[in-house]
Structure 1
């Protein structure tokens, strides 16, 4: 899939001069000169595909109203698009040159693929990319592809250690574990002293990455075009994970709906610790174990034997469709929506994590969960920025489950995963 552009992709690029959903009364000049020099003169309509959930819609509508008040000649149509359908829907619309939005909220794992197909407008030097020094380095890196910035970070996230303070206190534990070895010892102490199970793993490949990073490993060496998911470091990482599914430590991980099972056990007080992200906090508060919100503890991800700790960066970017007929308006919209003021509002109203340092205001960090995850972001790591990175996790999930069930050894399971990636998705990469 990275051996050059397909016929369909080439056709999509040729179609980029076609009319997008936005207004047709302006040119498709990509420089952003008009928006930079005379923003109040910019007029027309743009469409934004919002891939968040509808519960967040009212906050974004509030921001759009504020944008349109500042730029009365620009009309914004927010179209809610289901997240699980948006990636393919955008590809289809962009390839056909008809029906694509001017601006799309992209998952960080989509940006490289869209850019590789020629569907995203590079934003370097445009008004959309404002004050880049203020962005957290990790989220900004996810918006780049082959030296060009093809998105503006909207929200970010990472994984952290969530724990039940009351159970910790009953077990006589005064601080969260800083390493996976301490995590194992803590889980066993909790089980022995309280009868509560220490943890429950989510058996998805994405949730195995902190183990991998903690051993100094990674999924891929992109620059060297090597698959490294079966390296000695990765094998040690899987051996660590296996220790955390033993009966004296954990609830046996579910092989289906593993995320839901682990989250439910945690919020019901049946396990003392899980690994999860900031998106799970509101749901945790709805559980009986955290009716008192102060009972929820959040810490940075534990470290591995390599002496490092890291968790993957997730989140979303604002991207501009290369075929937009109203790029000036699109640039102004992205600049406004990714501003400090806008990010502060979404952080307070819908519990998102800002991508700008300046948006972590006192009002935002007054929430202990956001403050804790801000700290967790300090050890966050960018996943490989390649087209189709999300596709790698389909096979990763399957092989990780087999390893956790004991169906295969860590080495055999990871060797099989590396071979599958090499055969089906990464044919131009070497293994090892």
Structure 2
């Protein structure tokens, strides 16, 4: 479940009516009632675009597909693994053109309101997809809402943490994980001086920079004041910390399109001691030689900034249903199956991801996983994204500009001013 938002131009406010798309009004039609009454009679083929990591996470979901098809022999699932970086634009293109979109998409929580605003998603209220909706974590379920309707079902939730190599830190004389960005700098320099390896990897992308911004008490926007804040003094100071980590030699970065893969490779091979990442990376991390002993992987809260508080974003993925699907009934049942507590616990055990159903956290497969325990505790203080349909579009200019800032092409102030200008085009009602 690699977290990375691709750069794309802001979408035009194109609305597709559900009738034109071939869907229904989502308000509990007779067809939906029939599906809920006799799900065994439902037939069809569900095309699912899974955006999880194709090697470390997808195998678990393929196992769940086999279980679903055994439970519903009249329904077949056409599985496609679509790289996360490409999925948002690919889905938008297919939905806008009315051809080639999947029945079900594993969508980043930030995409859900944006796709709903454009008319691409089927409302799920009153459908079998939302069976037992009261059992979801409130923070996860909130991400599925747009204008008092539900457009997704929470599949996994997540946040960011400091992942670290215990052995490398110990060799550098660091006895505990850094709790502040100042301590990250000191630890990174010590690792470089005493082991020759890199201290911390700073990924030049907006989502990964949020702990820096939140640590200074800032944010991308102030919703109450309807103000763009991505270039205020707090944000400038925050991104300046990232710049300083890199320029001082305590951190390394990578502004190529393979930035995430290179970060993962360095961490797995023991070439970098620390990185900011989420639970989706752990299955892959543990495959690396640096973590042949799984106990060598440490997980700690993201470092605090000068505000004295640490802050990480609350993210995750929802399963959404395309409004133009010709297989709505089968899609509802598939979404419900994947998000049942026992199936979330299965995926959690295999992939170290965080379930969205409260009941899953009492199951042994989940309670026995130290990764889930560490990240679950962090969820209580994680911050959700701003409740705006186009909030995810704000990351497009921020991602592009952070690459320029971290590589020294522009200053933090100049770069963030450019981001703010682009943000006002995305949110014209904001000053």
TM-score of the superposed pair, with normalisation by structure 1: 0.84
**CA displacement, residues 304-354 of structure 1 (integer Å, 9 cap, x when unaligned):** 222322222333211123344554443332222100111111122344332
**CA displacement, residues 92-147 of structure 1 (integer Å, 9 cap, x when unaligned):** 44445555443332222321221012222222343322333432333322222223
| Aligned: 1:363 with 2:365 | yes
Unpaired runs of at least 5, structure 1: 20-26
Deviates more, 1:257-266 or 1:311-320: 257-266
The change in CA–CA distance for 1:86 and 1:30 in structure 2 (over 3 A counts) is farther
Unpaired runs of at least 5, structure 2: 1-8
Residue 162 of structure 1: aligned partner = 163
Residue 75 of structure 1: aligned partner = 75
Shift of 1:80: 0.8
- Which secondary structure state, in structure 1, belongs to the residue aligned with residue 331 of structure 2? helix
| Aligned: 1:384 with 2:386 | yes
1:183-202 → structure 2 map (5 Å cutoff)? 183-191=184-192, 194=195, 196-202=197-203
The change in CA–CA distance for 1:99 and 1:271 in structure 2 (over 3 A counts) is closer
Deviates more, 1:355-364 or 1:324-333: 324-333
**CA displacement, residues 366-406 of structure 1 (integer Å, 9 cap, x when unaligned):** 33333322233333222234445444333212322333344
**CA displacement, residues 144-184 of structure 1 (integer Å, 9 cap, x when unaligned):** 22232210011233221011111222334332122223323
Residue 210 of structure 1: aligned partner = 211
The change in CA–CA distance for 1:308 and 1:332 in structure 2 (over 3 A counts) is same
Deviates more, 1:292-301 or 1:165-174: 165-174
2:412 to 395, 410, 414: 410
- Which secondary structure state, in structure 2, belongs to the residue aligned with residue 244 of structure 1? helix
Residue 3 of structure 2: aligned partner = none
1:211-290 → structure 2 map (5 Å cutoff)? 211-251=212-252, 253-256=253-256, 257-290=258-291
Residue 132 of structure 2: aligned partner = 131
TM-score of the superposed pair, with normalisation by structure 2: 0.84
Paired with 1:377 and 1:301, the residues of 2 have a C-alpha distance of 12
**CA displacement, residues 242-281 of structure 1 (integer Å, 9 cap, x when unaligned):** 2322335223x23324333433333332332111222322
The change in CA–CA distance for 1:242 and 1:89 in structure 2 (over 3 A counts) is closer
Q: Tell me, yes or no, if the aligned pair for 1:30 and 1:328 is still in contact at 8 Å.
A: no
Residue 422 of structure 2: aligned partner = 420
The change in CA–CA distance for 1:16 and 1:296 in structure 2 (over 3 A counts) is same
Residue 24 of structure 1: aligned partner = none
Paired with 1:30 and 1:218, the residues of 2 have a C-alpha distance of 45
Shift of 1:81: 5.0
Residue 16 of structure 1: aligned partner = 21
Shift of 1:290: 1.9
Deviates more, 1:197-206 or 1:293-302: 197-206
The change in CA–CA distance for 1:241 and 1:152 in structure 2 (over 3 A counts) is same
Shift of 1:210: 0.6
- Which secondary structure state, in structure 1, belongs to the residue aligned with residue 251 of structure 2? coil
Shift of 1:69: 4.0
| Aligned: 1:50 with 2:49 | yes
- Which secondary structure state, in structure 1, belongs to the residue aligned with residue 217 of structure 2? coil
Paired with 1:197 and 1:86, the residues of 2 have a C-alpha distance of 32
Q: Tell me, yes or no, if the aligned pair for 1:301 and 1:311 is still in contact at 8 Å.
A: yes
Give the number of aligned pairs.
Answer: 416
Q: Tell me, yes or no, if the aligned pair for 2:23 and 2:122 is still in contact at 8 Å.
A: no
Residue 375 of structure 1: aligned partner = 377
Paired with 2:123 and 2:325, the residues of 1 have a C-alpha distance of 12
Paired with 2:268 and 2:63, the residues of 1 have a C-alpha distance of 32
Paired with 1:200 and 1:383, the residues of 2 have a C-alpha distance of 24
The change in CA–CA distance for 1:292 and 1:2 in structure 2 (over 3 A counts) is closer
Q: Tell me, yes or no, if the aligned pair for 1:300 and 1:375 is still in contact at 8 Å.
A: no
> What is the root-mean-square deviation in Å for CA atoms of aligned residues?
3.1
Residue 4 of structure 2: aligned partner = none
- Which secondary structure state, in structure 1, belongs to the residue aligned with residue 380 of structure 2? helix
The change in CA–CA distance for 1:78 and 1:54 in structure 2 (over 3 A counts) is farther
Paired with 1:138 and 1:129, the residues of 2 have a C-alpha distance of 16
Paired with 2:247 and 2:270, the residues of 1 have a C-alpha distance of 19
Paired with 2:405 and 2:117, the residues of 1 have a C-alpha distance of 33
- Which secondary structure state, in structure 2, belongs to the residue aligned with residue 80 of structure 1? strand
